[in-house]
Structure 1
Amino acid sequence: MTAYRQQLNDKIHYLHHLFQGMDMPELEVFESPESHYRMRAEFRVWHEGDEIFYAMFERGQKASGATLVRCDQFAAAHTLVNALMPRLIEAAGRNSVLKNRWYAVEFLSTLSGEMLVTMIYHKKLDAEWEAAARALQAELGIFIIGRSRGQKVVLAQDFVTETLHVGGAPFRYRQIEGGFTQPNAYVCEKMLAWACDAAEGLGGDMLELYCGNGNFTLPLARCFDKVLATEVSKTSVAAALWNIEANNSRNVKIARLSAEEFTEAYTQNRAFRRLEEQGIALADYRFSTIFVDPPRAGVDTETLKLVAQFDYVLYVSCNPETLRANLETLSATHRVARFALFDQFPFTHHIESGVLLTRK
């Protein structure tokens, strides 16, 4: 048995044990590539004399007492990252302005071929650095951002445009530096396809909470008459609005509200001027389905009461423990019709899972 197969089996067994005693359907398992699956990677830039190299610290250890590991290549990162790593370190190492006090680097790659590199420094970035960085950007054919304390220098743009394929259709996404995106694009495509398959035939309108940049919103919108998605982050909302326009998703609207705020609006306990300003009238929707992809803490108690009002619930979770707790509550009104494991984070303890709930 390969190391990958063993770690995946361990996750399968963990989920079976965690949900023991609940009426769960057969688990659908979606595998990851065994290597080159991460679209993001972060490294320290280590200086030893005149030499610089990428470095990481042993997992689970704090830098003060951890073992330093040199990383000329990183098997988990996408092939584009690995191809760029030696070129970037060599080119920057030739220029004293770029090399001096260069502390860390972050790569954001895409299946579409675009690459954004954030170079982080322990010094003020001046015009001389910017000129050198622009030359480096042109030489390598990438987008570069410079960061230091209190500074963010964007040379061209602070985002990449990703293309994911779902059901044979391409979807374009603006992914902003520092914003949340799914790190494993290959498994992300499988997650989106699973969600669309689960939503097939549900009809009516869909409400989505925690929509981020619209990752699930856009492909799911094909399954419903209208979609209302909510997100509290201004950065994510801006990206989602661009993505809606770029993909010609005319049946989608975004409300800049938290899940808790939307619950107050939906239950008519509080009016929000933001909804009026965005031309959103909740009375215009006939929701059949709610989609939630909450943070690790899961869905809060009040929002869970809102979720329980919908006939169909699509729930994608990055924390199976809070998913289990939320399902304990929802099991009073719903049954689990589908159950999936997405190996978004191979060789870690993190598990991404999804369920489709239908009203009893």
Structure 2
Amino acid sequence: MAIHQVAPESYEQQLDHKLALLKRQFATLCLPEIDVYTSPSSHYRQRAEFKIWQENGRANYAMYEPGEYKKPYVISDFLVGSERINQLMPALLDAVNSNETLRKRLFQVEFLTTKSGEALITLIYHRPLDDEWQGLAQQLKAQLKVDIIGRSRKQKLLLDRDFVIEKLQVDGSELIYKQVEGSFTQPNAHVCEKMLSWANKHTHNAKGDLLELYCGNGNFTVPLSRHFSKVLATEISKTSVEAAKFNFAQNGIENVEIARMSSEEFTQAMDHVRPFRRLSHIDLSSYQFSSIFVDPPRAGLDDDTLSLSQRFDNIIYVSCNPDTLFDNLTKLSATHLIEHFAVFDQFPYTHHLECGVILRRR
């Protein structure tokens, strides 16, 4: 994100421009009317990371314009960051600059906050962290009322915990999520709530069972599980799998099984290419799958997972990359109709648009 592009007064115009580009890109697919879900024009990011620029014995937050990584821009606040991030930024910097042990060779700071007010700060150093640092960090933790992690090469010091608990309001229900430092979470909680509501809307009359690939910490699994008899979810990250299990328990979800494996591996399991010990606790034959939910990385769906998806009556596809989404939809359109298409402005003032698609078998 270029710093000068953040202008709340031009929010609608920047979104209109992105929509025009997307409609032009997807013109050959004859999309239905696009549902547009906007973001707050400021203070929408619950996560942020900053380089630390050390100069004249003082640490400063710094960002870089794209392509200008040797020219830091010193900043004091972050308009797109949550109000909690902006509240913590000056207080943290004052504390760091008042103590040489906290400041020395600090080169990066990461913030993870929630709509419910929790915050976790990670301080990353180019030096080992000792007992003196840990004692001072404990004092800082109490002063700022946050959780703190110290990191350096091959070192991670937890003062208490490495996660926050987010509480999202979706269609009249409060959903609880553990969000772990360093793991993927939706950065724009306001838009995330809208995404979950959209997914609810298009699955509330669902029948049968759901297969979900790339489930992460169960962000979509939690609300969607209430519309299906059973859910089988897969995720490759061990940390995310553990967080998902925690989130299922916290939200009273009892009809979900989760397997730690990639989508490519699961496709091999479905096709009986080879057995997987990680699926030994799951009887695949007991599922009556009617729908598949996919939220892949920017590379989109690989060819085998595309073929697997085409076996389902209903496909719910959430994409963080319109380019790979277009390629995937071009192939999926041979077997499925695009019934609904939505865009979610997760990252205002950038070229990025998150998309959601509902496909039904022809």
Shorter-chain TM range is over 0.9
Q: Distance in 1 between matches of 2:127 and 2:332?
A: 52
Question: 1:112 offset after TM fit, Å?
Answer: 1.4
Percent identity reads 53
Report if aligned partners of 1:207, 1:228 keep a CA contact under 8 Å in 2: yes
| Correspondent of 2:244 among 240, 246, 260 | 240
For residues 15-42 of structure 1, give each alpha carbon's deviation from its aligned partner in whole angstroms, at most 9, with x where no partner exists.
1101112131100000000000001111
- Structure 1, unmatched stretches of 5+, are none
| Residue 20 of structure 1: aligned partner | 27
Instruction: Find the residue that maps to 1:21 and give its secondary structure.
Output: helix
| Residue 154 of structure 1: aligned partner | 158
- Structure 2, unmatched stretches of 5+, are 1-7
| Residue 312 of structure 2: aligned partner | 310
Report if aligned partners of 1:37, 1:186 keep a CA contact under 8 Å in 2: yes
| Correspondent of 1:61 among 60, 67, 70 | 67
Q: Distance in 2 between matches of 1:267 and 1:62?
A: 48
Instruction: Find the residue that maps to 2:87 and give its secondary structure.
Output: helix
Matches within 5 A, 1:173-184: 173-184=177-188
Which amino acid is the alignment partner of residue 11 of structure 1?
K
| Residue 344 of structure 1: aligned partner | 346
| 1:355 equivalent in alignment to 2:362 | no
RMSD of the alignment, in Å?
1.1
Instruction: Find the residue that maps to 1:265 and give its secondary structure.
Output: helix
Q: Distance in 2 between matches of 1:269 and 1:103?
A: 47
Question: 1:226 offset after TM fit, Å?
Answer: 0.7
Which amino acid is the alignment partner of residue 19 of structure 1?
F
Count matched residues.
Answer: 355
Structure 1's consecutive aligned runs of 4 or more residues displaced over 3 angstroms after TM superposition are none
| Residue 273 of structure 2: aligned partner | 269
Q: Distance in 2 between matches of 1:297 and 1:99?
A: 39
Report if aligned partners of 2:59, 2:96 keep a CA contact under 8 Å in 1: no
Question: 1:268 offset after TM fit, Å?
Answer: 1.6
Q: Distance in 1 between matches of 2:56 and 2:261?
A: 51
| 1:121 equivalent in alignment to 2:128 | no
| Residue 226 of structure 1: aligned partner | 230
Q: Distance in 2 between matches of 1:23 and 1:268?
A: 37
Matches within 5 A, 1:161-240: 161-240=165-244
Instruction: Find the residue that maps to 2:28 and give its secondary structure.
Output: coil
Q: Distance in 2 between matches of 1:271 and 1:77?
A: 46
| Residue 83 of structure 1: aligned partner | 87
| Correspondent of 1:5 among 12, 18, 37 | 12
For residues 38-81 of structure 1, give each alpha carbon's deviation from its aligned partner in whole angstroms, at most 9, with x where no partner exists.
011111222222332211112x12422x3x21211110000000
| Residue 149 of structure 2: aligned partner | 145
| Residue 48 of structure 1: aligned partner | 55
Report if aligned partners of 1:92, 1:136 keep a CA contact under 8 Å in 2: no
For residues 117-161 of structure 1, give each alpha carbon's deviation from its aligned partner in whole angstroms, at most 9, with x where no partner exists.
000111110011001101110111000000111111111011111
| Residue 5 of structure 2: aligned partner | none
Which amino acid is the alignment partner of residue 61 of structure 1?
G
TM-score for both structures, normalised by structure 1: 0.97
Question: 1:95 offset after TM fit, Å?
Answer: 1.6
Q: Distance in 2 between matches of 1:144 and 1:274?
A: 34
For residues 261-309 of structure 1, give each alpha carbon's deviation from its aligned partner in whole angstroms, at most 9, with x where no partner exists.
1001111221111111xx2111111111000000111100011110000
Q: Distance in 2 between matches of 1:140 and 1:105?
A: 15
Q: Distance in 2 between matches of 1:332 and 1:295?
A: 23
Which amino acid is the alignment partner of residue 333 of structure 2?
S
